[in-house]
Amino acid sequence: DAGVTQSPTHLIKTRGQQVTLRCSPKSGHDTVSWYQQALGQGPQFIFQYYEEEERQRGNFPDRFSGHQFPNYSSELNVNALLLGDSALYLCASSWGRNQPQHFGDGTRLSIL
Amino acid sequence: KQEVTQIPAALSVPEGENLVLNCSFTDSAIYNLQWFRQDPGKGLTSLLLIQSSQREQTSGRLNASLDKSSGRSTLYIAASQPGDSATYLCAASRDNAGNMLTFGGGTRLMVKP
């Protein structure tokens, strides 16, 4: 039973570019959440998707957007990349509300 | 706004020692509290989840407690091993907020052989 898978593993971009990160949830899970983890800090909630809609959003600018597909997989898009967007981006999936979340290994995004 | 704090930020202990990691939160209206382990460059592995109605959870050498009234949780690790070396994160989930997690900054644990 595959867990949460994220792609790519690592990514290098330059300032001003756009990036798309992908996440496949654990089998049977219908809710996907995205988190940003800067080096040496705890993860910060970006947003959560359920039934293909954004259900909750953290304190992140509109440059961060997402999508959930009918098969529950999800994408995180970041436009106009800034140096401060360099971080580990984690995807977590769960089934239903208030259930334990399962995390992927993340995508390490570096902005030059 | 929920704020979660973990003390200490880093801890180094000799192998075999029992240790306690601390987590405090400002808003007691939590639905549950989770403890995670994170190895360098990796994602998060869930260790224990305590529902707001519970006082503690145990898994092997790990025991987590929750005191909502004081806004505190502790993770107790018995007979520490070098393989326990990792960053430990606690996260609070607020009631009626789906499962959005608010994380602490983590405690970086080093267990020396």
Mean local confidence (pLDDT), A19-25:
98
Name the pLDDT band for A84 (thresholds 50, 70, 90): very high
Chain centre distance of CA A44: 11
Name the pLDDT band for B95 (thresholds 50, 70, 90): low
pLDDT at B61: 97
Residue A74 confidence (pLDDT) above 80: yes
How much of chain B, in percent, has pLDDT values that exceed 70?
96
CA pair distance B73, B51, nearest whole angstrom: 12
Within 9-48 of A, beta carbons closer than 8 Å to B belong to 31, 33, 35, 40-45, 48
What count of other Cβ atoms lies within 10 Å of the Cβ of residue A73?
17
Q: Quick check: B31 and A50 CB within 8 A?
A: no
Chain centre distance of CA A7: 10
Contacts of A94 in chain B (CB under 8 A): 99
Name the pLDDT band for B12 (thresholds 50, 70, 90): very high
How much of chain A, in percent, has pLDDT values that exceed 70?
97
Q: Quick check: B44 and A100 CB within 8 A?
A: no
Mean local confidence (pLDDT), B81-94:
95
Q: Quick check: B103 and A44 CB within 8 A?
A: yes
Are B2 and B100 a contacting pair, CB within 8 Å? no
Q: Quick check: A55 and B98 CB within 8 A?
A: yes
pLDDT at B18: 97
**Residues B66, B67, B71, B75: is their CA dihedral positive or negative?**
negative
CA pair distance B12, B110, nearest whole angstrom: 5
Q: Determine the distance in angstroms separating the CA of A43 from the nearest CA of chain B, rounded to an integer.
A: 6
Return mean pLDDT, chain B. 93
Q: Quick check: B43 and A105 CB within 8 A?
A: yes
CB of A7 within 8 Å of any CB in chain B? Answer: no
CA pair distance A21, A11, nearest whole angstrom: 9
Point out which residues pair with A42 in neighbouring strands: none
